[in-house]
C-alpha cells in the first residue's frame, strides 16, 4: 500500500487543524434525521482535541451550486454535533474570509468550530486556486476525513492539501486500510460479488475486477445480460441486450486472466414485482415470455456460499436480486448472513460498499458483522474501478 500521512505523524499542539468531513447528512425540516456521518468524524475530532489542536470542520451539504441557499446551511448540524462531542461547537457564518476567521479566533485551543457550507462558493467545486488559498489561510495543517468526497478534485478535498501539511483522518485511514486489505494487497483467494441492475453502469468495474480477482460472482439485473450473451432466454427480465458483445468480451477477459466467473445457474422468477408475489424457481431455460428474473436461485446461492468458504477475502458491491421487495431478497440475505458469519469467525476479510449494498446488508441485519462497510458510494466504486482518487493522492507521503 502506498504510504499516507496520518495524524500520528502530525504536530498539532497549539495549531489550527482544517478537517474536511462528510456532513452531507439526511435532514428534514431543518433537523438532522441520521447522525451516522457525524459519528464517523468523532475519532478524528477527539484525537485532534486530545493533541491540543483547534479543530475547524469543513463540509458541504446538498447542491447549492455556488449560491447561498439558506435551506442548505450547515447550522442545523451544530447542536447534534455538540451533543455527540460533549462540548460547544462554534459556527462560522462563512467558510472563508473575515466571518470564518472571527469564528475560529473565538474557538479555544481544543475547541471545535464548524464553518458554513463550502458549496456556497463556486470556487469549491471548480477547485479554484484562489478559493483553496483562502481556505488554507484559516489553518496550520489539513486533515481529510471524507473518503466519500475523495473522488472529487475540489478545493477542500485536493487544492488545499497542496498548500498545507496534509494528513488522513482516522475515518479516512480506516477506509484506506480496509480497501487495501480487500483489493490492494489482499489475502488470496479473493472473491468479488458485483450486483445491481445494469452492466452499463459497472463496465469499468467489471473490467478492472476480472484482472484482479480469483473469482467474480455476478448477480442482480446485470447477470441477465450475461445469461442472454450465453444464449439463454431471459423472458421479460431487465436485460441490456445491446451489451451482449461487451458481456462476452468480459467473459473472455476473465478466462484469459484466470478469474472464474460465477453466473446464476438457477433463478427466481415472477410475472410482477410486488411484495409477496408468487415466485418460482427456474433453471436457465424454460422461462415464460412474461416472466422476469428477480433473484438468484437456491443452487446459485449454494455455489456462492461454497466460493466464500474457499476464499480468504470478499469484496461486495451490489445486491443479487430486487432485495427491497420480498421474497426477492432471499439470495442477498442468505449470502450476506453467511459472509457475516465467516467474517465474525475471522475466516474471511469481508469488505462491502455502495449505497444499495449498505442498505441490503442493513436489511439482512449483518452490516455490523462485516470487516468493513464503506458508506462512500461514488468514491468506493471509483476505487474499485482502479481509478486514482484526487483526495487520496494528495495525502501520499
The DSSP code sequence of 321-345 is: S-TTSTTTTHHHHHHHHHHHHHHHT
- Residue 2: per-residue pLDDT: 59
- Residue 334: per-residue pLDDT: 98
Residue 227 shares a structural domain with residue 326 = yes
Domain that holds residue 159: 7-172
Tell me if the pTM is above 0.95.
Answer: no
Q: Evaluate whether residue 232 is within a structural domain.
A: yes
Q: Evaluate whether residue 149 is within a structural domain.
A: yes
Q: Evaluate whether residue 389 is within a structural domain.
A: no
Structural domains of the chain, count = 2
CATH number of the domain residue 212 falls in: 3.40.50.1260
| 104 sits in which H/E element | helix 97-105
In terms of Cβ atoms closer than 10 Å to its own Cβ (0-12, 13-18, 19+), residue 368 is exposed
Q: Which residues are catalytic?
A: 37, 198, 355, 378
Residue 288 shares a structural domain with residue 242 = yes
Dmax of the chain from CA atoms? Answer: 72
- From 172, 205, 240, the end of a domain falls on 172
Residue 84 shares a structural domain with residue 155 = yes
Q: Evaluate whether residue 180 is within a structural domain.
A: no
Residue 144 shares a structural domain with residue 190 = no
Mean pLDDT by 10 residues, the chain (397 residues): 85 97 93 93 98 98 96 97 98 98 97 98 98 98 96 96 97 93 93 93 93 97 96 95 96 97 97 92 91 97 98 97 96 98 98 90 96 90 91 90
Residue 265 shares a structural domain with residue 134 = no
Helix axis angle for 36-50 and 78-85, nearest 10°, is 50
- From 139, 172, 205, the end of a domain falls on 172
Residue 260 shares a structural domain with residue 379 = yes
Residue 269 shares a structural domain with residue 153 = no
In terms of Cβ atoms closer than 10 Å to its own Cβ (0-12, 13-18, 19+), residue 198 is middle
Q: Evaluate whether residue 177 is within a structural domain.
A: no
Q: Evaluate whether residue 392 is within a structural domain.
A: no
Residue 370 shares a structural domain with residue 296 = yes
Reading the block at residue 368, the C-alpha cell is 455490523
Amino acid at each position: 500500500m502506498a504510504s499516507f500521512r496520518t495524524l500520528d505523524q502530525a504536530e498539532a499542539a497549539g495549531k489550527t487543524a482544517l478537517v474536511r468531513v462528510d456532513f452531507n447528512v439526511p435532514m428534514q425540516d431543518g433537523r438532522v434525521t441520521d447522525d451516522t456521518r457525524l459519528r464517523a468524524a468523532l475519532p478524528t475530532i477527539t484525537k485532534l482535541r486530545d493533541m491540543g489542536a483547534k479543530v475547524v470542520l469543513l463540509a458541504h451539504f446538498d447542491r447549492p451550486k455556488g449560491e447561498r441557499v439558506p435551506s442548505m446551511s450547515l447550522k442545523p448540524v451544530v447542536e447534534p454535533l455538540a451533543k455527540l462531542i460533549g462540548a460547544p461547537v462554534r459556527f462560522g457564518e462563512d467558510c472563508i474570509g473575515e466571518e470564518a476567521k472571527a469564528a475560529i479566533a473565538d474557538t479555544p485551543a481544543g475547541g471545535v468550530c464548524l464553518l458554513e457550507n463550502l458549496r456556497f462558493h463556486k470556487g469549491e467545486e471548480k477547485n479554484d486556486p484562489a478559493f483553496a488559498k483562502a481556505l488554507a489561510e484559516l489553518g496550520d495543517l489539513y486533515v481529510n476525513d471524507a473518503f466519500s468526497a475523495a473522488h472529487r478534485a475540489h478545493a477542500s478535498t485536493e487544492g488545499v492539501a497542496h498548500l498545507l501539511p496534509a494528513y488522513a483522518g482516522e475515518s479516512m485511514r480506516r477506509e484506506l486500510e480496509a480497501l487495501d486489505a480487500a483489493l490492494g494487497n489482499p489475502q488470496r483467494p479473493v472473491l468479488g460479488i458485483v450486483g445491481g441492475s445494469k452492466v452499463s453502469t459497472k463496465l469499468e468495474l467489471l473490467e478492472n475486477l476480472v484482472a484482479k480477482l480469483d473469482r467474480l460472482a455476478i448477480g442482480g439485473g446485470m447477470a441477465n445480460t450475461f445469461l442472454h450473451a450465453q444464449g439463454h432466454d431471459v423472458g421479460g427480465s431487465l436485460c441490456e441486450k445491446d451489451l451482449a458483445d461487451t458481456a462476452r468480451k468480459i467473459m473472455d477477459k476473465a478466462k484469459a486472466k484466470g478469474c472464474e466467473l460465477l453466473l446464476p445457474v438457477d433463478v427466481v422468477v415472477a410475472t410482477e414485482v410486488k411484495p409477496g408475489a408468487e415466485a418460482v424457481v427456474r433453471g436457465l431455460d424454460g422461462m415464460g415470455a412474461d416472466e422476469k428474473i428477480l433473484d438468484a436461485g437456491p443452487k446459485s446461492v449454494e455455489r456462492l456460499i461454497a466460493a466464500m468458504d474457499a476464499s480468504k477475502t470478499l469484496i461486495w458491491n451490489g445486491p443479487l436480486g430486487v432485495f427491497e421487495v420480498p421474497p426477492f431478497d432471499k439470495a442477498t440475505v442468505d449470502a450476506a448472513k453467511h459472509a457475516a458469519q465467516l467474517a465474525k469467525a475471522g475466516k474471511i476479510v469481508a469488505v462491502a460498499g455502495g449505497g444499495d449494498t449498505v442498505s441490503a446488508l442493513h436489511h439482512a441485519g449483518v452490516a455490523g458483522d462485516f470487516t468493513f462497510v464503506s458508506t462512500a458510494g461514488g468514491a468506493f466504486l471509483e476505487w474499485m474501478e482502479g481509478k486514482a482518487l484526487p483526495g487520496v493522492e494528495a495525502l501520499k507521503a
